[in-house]
Amino acid sequence: MKRNITRILIYLAVIAVQMVVNDYINPGPFLYICILPMLVVMLPLDQHPAISMAISFAIGLVTDLLTDGVLGLNAGAATLLCAVRLPLFRLVFNADNYDKNEIPSLRLAGWRKFLKYMFPATLVYFAFYVGFDGFVYRSWLFNIARILLCAAVNAAIIALLSNILLGTDNRHSA
Amino acid sequence: MKKRSGLADYLLIAGTFLLLEIVSIMMISRSGVVQRYKVVGAAKNVQTIFWRSGEKVREFFTLGKENVRLQQENIRLMEELETLKEAADGREIIVSKDAAYTYVPATIIKNSTNKQHNYIVLDRGSRDGIKPGMGVVTGEGVVGVVNSVTPGFSYVISFLNTSQVVSAKLMKNGYFGPMKWEGGATSRAVISEIPLHCDAQPGDTISTSGFSSLYPADIPLGTVVDSKETSGIYKNITVDLFLNFRALKYVYVVVNNNRDELNALEEQYR
């Protein structure tokens, strides 16, 4: 119970941080700092995927509503990431990690393995986000560069943030 | 962990995924600030308090730059006045009481420049006579178009937005075309559909053409950086914008006093 409350508080804190980042941090048009993928990969692995997708969609939609972006961009990207996170987890981590229902984090996996998981995850997220944000208006080179830059920078930020927020708590409550 | 199997389960997962993605894409295609502000109007009102406070802090630290900019604008206006005085020497100037454009000064309380769809929030709204569809400018260029208004605020689609186009012309020869932000540097834009034979040299001044009811003609926008042939008939001109969107604070909302008449005329030929 206590662990669930902590997790809900972490979710609310991350959404609040995302709002502040959107309002006051301006790294330019190439880079969108978005830490929402962290919340999606933090969802319990043994939860029914349909429920996880609905939660991811809701997290994305709340962020879209509270920040001045295009409505549906984060919601769609979070849903897509949620759909691919299990196959991705199985590719990078072993069956033991999956059976223990562990949350992937820097402390659990180490830099190399965690980024091997997080970079493709953010890549999927930003492929959707950048794609629908203006693929038809911009050159493909600009969009590819934007997807790669966003994925790399945000994967690194999420790695650091997960290390701070998750601490040693690497297991989802049953 | 329990294993999942069964066709019904897979269908449920696939169905949920498809449904949520379709809903997202539908929202993206219809997205506008209007719907959002209707959905979370109360939350946005709270946010504007924070934006205002944030802007005050930013303003404190950028006052020096703002003073320099205002000084330069003053000098430019004085020079313009002198030129007009000289031109009017010995002649009577007829000043129309019914000017085509009037301006409502406004202050920016929220400005995003790091997205592909950027928005600006102004501290003036319908109470001050601002309506959706009005242009927003400064002495250094075009800022955007008012998208929606509340009694106290206006939500402006910035020029730094994929959907914004401004009709721009080369001041020296009058050739014009649509000018758009390309999504990269906030100080660069591109004018397309310029005929190949048009002479555009680096440093030439670009201004608004006046061929729209949004902005008056001859507002300086920037200078030519280079030009490139695109389709065999046209060339694109890269423009270095005068306006620094990252340091934008005070703007003017353009009220076109003939807009209703122009719209009525356009409606007749539709």
- pLDDT for B250 equals 86
- Smallest CA–CA distance, residue A50 to chain B, in Å, is 5
What average pLDDT does the structure give for chain A? 82
For residue B34, the model assigns a pLDDT of: 47
Structure-block tokens of residue B225: 């950086």
Beta-carbon separation of A57 and B50 below 8 A: no
The C-alpha atoms of residue A39 and residue B195 are separated, in whole angstroms, by 51
Q: B48 CB contacts (<8 Å, ≥6 apart)?
A: B109, B110, B121, B153
Q: Return the SS3 of A26.
A: coil
Task: Give chain B positions within 8 Å (CB) of A134.
Answer: 116-117, 162, 183
Given an 8 Å threshold on Cβ–Cβ distance, is A79 in contact with B24? yes
Q: Which of A54, A101, A142 sits opposite B183 (nearest CB)?
A: A142
Q: Please check the confidence at residue B207 and state whether its pLDDT lies above 60.
A: yes
* A-B Cβ pairs (cutoff 8 Å, strict): 120
DSSP character string of B204-221: -EEEE---SSSS-TT-EE
pLDDT tens-digit series, residues A18-62 = 888 877 777 777 888 888 999 898 888 888 999 999 999 999 998
Among all residues of chain B, which has the CA nearest to that of A53? B17
Percentage of the residues of chain B whose pLDDT score is greater than 90: 22
A132: confidence class by pLDDT, cuts 50, 70, 90: confident
Distance from C-alpha of A57 to C-alpha of A47, rounded to nearest angstrom: 15
Q: How high is the pLDDT of residue B205?
A: 92
Q: Would you say A71 and B36 are in contact if contact means Cβ atoms under 8 Å apart?
A: yes
Question: Does B28 contact A26 at a Cβ distance shorter than 8 Å?
Answer: no
Chain A residues with beta carbon closer than 8 angstroms to that of B117: 69-70, 133-134
Show residues of chain B in contact with A27, CB under 8 Å.
Answer: 114
ipTM: 0.84
Within chain A, how many helices (H) and strands (E) appear? 7, 0
Contact B228, B235 (CB under 8 A): yes
Q: With a cut of 80, say whether residue B203 has pLDDT above it.
A: yes
Q: Which of residues 187-216 of B touch A (CB under 8 A)?
A: none
Tell me if chain A has a CB within 8 Å of the CB of B34. Answer: no
- Residues B256, B214 contacting (CB under 8 angstroms): yes
B213 pLDDT exceeds 90? no
Tell if the CB–CB gap between A68 and B112 is shorter than 8 Å: yes
Per-residue pLDDT of B94-115, as tens digits, reads 444 456 788 888 888 888 887 7
Amino acid B97: pLDDT: 46
Tokens of B19: 């449904």
Q: Which amino acid makes up residue B84? A: L
Cβ contacts of B114 on chain A, cutoff 8 Å: 25-29, 31-32
Instruction: Examine the pLDDT at B38 and tell me if it is beyond 60.
Output: no
What residues in A contact B178, CB-CB < 8 Å?
none
Top residue of A43, A48, A70 to mutate, by most chain B CBs within 10 Å, is A70
| Greatest CA separation for chain B | 94
CA gap B24, A78 in Å, rounded:
10
Interface membership of B10 toward A (CB under 8 Å): no
Q: What's chain B's average pLDDT?
A: 81
Residue A65 to residue B43, Cβ atoms within 8 A: yes
Contact B186 A68 (CB under 8 A): no
Tokens matching residue A31: 């880079």
Position A45 scores a pLDDT of 83
**Are A134 and B1 an interchain contact pair (Cβ–Cβ within 8 Å)?**
no
pLDDT of B111 reads 85
Question: pLDDT digit string (tens) for B219-240?
Answer: 899 999 998 888 778 889 999 9
Q: Considering only CA atoms, which of A59, A53, A50 is closest in space to residue A19?
A: A59
Higher pLDDT, A161 or B190: B190
Residue B37 clears pLDDT 60, i.e. is over it: no
Residue B82 or A69, more confident: A69
Measured between alpha carbons, how far is B20 from B27 in angstroms, rounded to an integer? Answer: 11
**What is residue A138's predicted lDDT score, i.e. its pLDDT?**
67
Using only the alpha carbons of chain A, give its radius of gyration.
15
- Over residues B153-176, the pLDDT tens digits come to 898 999 998 778 999 999 888 899
Q: What is the pLDDT of residue B95?
A: 47
Tokens of B149: 């208004």
Q: pTM (2 decimals)?
A: 0.67
Cβ atoms < 10 Å from Cβ of A126: 27
The answer to whether B45 faces chain A, any CB pair under 8 Å, is: no
Highest mean pLDDT among A81-85, B26-30, B79-83, B244-248: A81-85
Q: What is the pLDDT of residue B113?
A: 82
Res. B42 pLDDT band, cuts 50 70 90: low
